[in-house]
């Protein structure tokens, strides 16, 4: 099998020549690496082609090529400006529906310079004023993140896709598209506590935001299916029992996830869903989703019962899992090797894609990642 065939067969829980291993490498942003050593064996300035050549040809890993398809364009007349007042950075979008404003505490830990993106975890810890607090904010947001699948926009995305296809073909890799963030993205726009409270006090606003994104997701899935991608990858990192009950997840996101997975299947693609922690109380809910696979369930947190995860999910879903980036990789090669053996012992070889949960970071001990790869080669 080549790498693309191996990954897709494993996601489908079909027979493979050997269990694939996905490196899930995360270079981190320069602000996150402050005071730390870069430990990846390629340069921070290396091109994607150079990185893949090392990861695929030297390490023997089963990497993937991501195609970022963006069908959103601002409405005519939208403009933005940013300014600093003391240690508070402000950004405002002027839109036909009014002004959309956010502000953050500006310090040495802020990685985006004089900008405040919509979707970023750094927002959560720095917000002075989040992007969305009320219905007026959401209407302005819709003017900035507006679905615009015109002929010109689609042609722009096809040109990007063609270059990504060439890279995937060069290394025989699967092509994916990260589509949708749901409540994870909402948390980066609303803030953590405000969003959790809003699901109780103003659920209509949360629903309105989720539906706006859901419609963009469905159209994007249709487009990437036409382009010939292999699978979509939906981010549900914060869509777990760390924040919500199973009933709340079903109420706000479950039925939308099923529609998106079903749309991917109708377009000839697979659907992979990221969840990380807080999964044990929602295993039945996760099992009810029509996703083909779950990415990143962390096996090291004290309440995680990997055998129960397998019992509830593995009969029909494949699992991308392995050593914890929070625990095992930091603890060194032996802890990492034990984690790889645990995954093979419990999950077995069917429907398994070995990967760090959730990623191997550039500042982590490289010997740990090498230990994961070496143990995989012996057990795969």
Residue 54 CA from chain centroid, whole number: 23
Domain C-terminal end among 140, 162, 188: 140
**What's the rounded Cα separation, in Å, for the pair 186 and 165?**
31
Q: Is 281 exposed, middle or buried (0-12, 13-18, 19+ CB in 10 A)?
A: middle
Range of the domain at 136: 79-140
DSSP 280: G
Domain C-terminal end among 101, 125, 140: 140
Query: What pLDDT, on the 0 to 100 scale, is given for residue 374?
Result: 98
Regions of the chain with pLDDT less than 70: none
Query: What pLDDT, on the 0 to 100 scale, is given for residue 302?
Result: 86
| Residue whose C-alpha is closest to residue 183's, from 229, 248, 233 | 248
Q: Bin 294: left if φ > 0, else alpha if -120 < ψ < 50, else beta.
A: beta
Regarding whether 10 and 109 lie in a shared domain, the answer is no
Domain C-terminal end among 117, 140, 163: 140
**What's the rounded Cα separation, in Å, for the pair 277 and 137?**
30
Regarding whether 210 and 122 lie in a shared domain, the answer is no
pLDDT tens-place string over residues 208-265: 999 999 999 999 999 999 999 999 999 999 999 999 999 999 999 999 999 999 999 9
Tokens (6 digits) for 60: 């023997």
The CATH code of the domain that includes 41 is: 3.20.20.210
Regarding whether 270 and 180 lie in a shared domain, the answer is yes
Q: What is the pTM of this model?
A: 0.96
Tokens (6 digits) for 155: 């042609």
Residues 6+ apart with CB under 8 A from 106: 84, 87, 88, 89, 126
Regarding whether 333 and 208 lie in a shared domain, the answer is yes
Regarding whether 106 and 250 lie in a shared domain, the answer is no
Neighbours of 265 (CB within 10 A): 15
pLDDT tens-place string over residues 1-47: 999 999 999 999 999 999 999 999 999 999 899 999 999 999 999 99
296 and 274 in contact (C-beta within 8 Å)?
Answer: yes
Query: What pLDDT, on the 0 to 100 scale, is given for residue 190?
Result: 98
Domains in the chain: how many in total?
Answer: 2
Name the one residue in this structure whose structure tokens are 């040495």: 108
275 and 237 in contact (C-beta within 8 Å)?
Answer: yes
285 and 250 in contact (C-beta within 8 Å)?
Answer: yes
**What's the rounded Cα separation, in Å, for the pair 339 and 356?**
10
What CA–CA distances, in Å, run from 308 to 21, 293, 323, 327?
Answer: 23, 16, 18, 21
Tokens (6 digits) for 363: 């500042």
């Amino acid at each position: 099998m080549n790498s693309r065939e191996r990954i897709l067969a494993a996601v489908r829980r079909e027979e493979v020549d050997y269990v694939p291993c996905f490196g899930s490498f995360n270079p981190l942003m320069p602000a996150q690496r402050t005071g730390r050593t870069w430990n990846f064996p390629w340069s921070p300035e290396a091109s994607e082609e150079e990185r893949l050549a090392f990861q695929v040809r030297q390490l023997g890993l089963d990497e993937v090529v991501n195609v970022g398809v963006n069908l959103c364009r601002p409405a005519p007349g939208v403009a933005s400006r940013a300014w600093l007042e003391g240690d508070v950075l402000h950004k405002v979008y002027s839109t036909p529906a009014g002004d959309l404003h956010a502000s953050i505490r500006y310090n040495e830990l802020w990685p985006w310079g004089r900008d405040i993106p919509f979707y970023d975890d750094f927002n959560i810890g720095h917000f002075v004023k989040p992007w969305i607090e009320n219905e007026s904010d959401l209407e302005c947001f819709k003017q900035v993140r507006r679905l615009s699948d015109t002929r010109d926009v689609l042609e722009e995305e096809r040109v990007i896709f063609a270059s990504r296809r060439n890279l995937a073909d060069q290394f025989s890799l699967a092509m994916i598209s990260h589509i949708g963030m749901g409540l994870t993205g909402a948390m980066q726009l609303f803030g953590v506590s405000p969003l959790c409270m809003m699901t109780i006090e103003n659920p209509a606003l949360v629903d309105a935001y989720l539906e706006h994104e859901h419609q963009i997701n469905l159209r994007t899935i249709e487009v990437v299916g036409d382009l010939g991608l292999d699978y979509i990858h939906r981010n549900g990192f914060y869509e777990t029992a760390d924040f919500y009950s199973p009933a709340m997840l079903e109420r706000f996101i479950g039925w939308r996830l099923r529609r998106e997975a079903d749309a991917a299947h109708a377009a000839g693609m697979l659907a992979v869903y990221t969840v990380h922690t807080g999964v044990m109380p929602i295993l039945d809910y996760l099992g009810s989703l029509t996703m083909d696979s779950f990415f990143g369930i962390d096996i090291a947190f004290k309440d995680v019962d990997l055998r129960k995860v397998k019992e509830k999910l593995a009969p029909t879903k494949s699992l991308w899992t392995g050593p914890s980036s929070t625990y095992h990789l930091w603890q060194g090669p032996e802890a990492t090797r034990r984690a790889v053996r645990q995954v093979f012992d419990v999950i077995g070889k069917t429907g398994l894609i070995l990967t760090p949960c959730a990623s191997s970071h550039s500042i982590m001990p490289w010997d740990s990642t090498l230990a994961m790869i070496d143990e995989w080669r012996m057990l795969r």
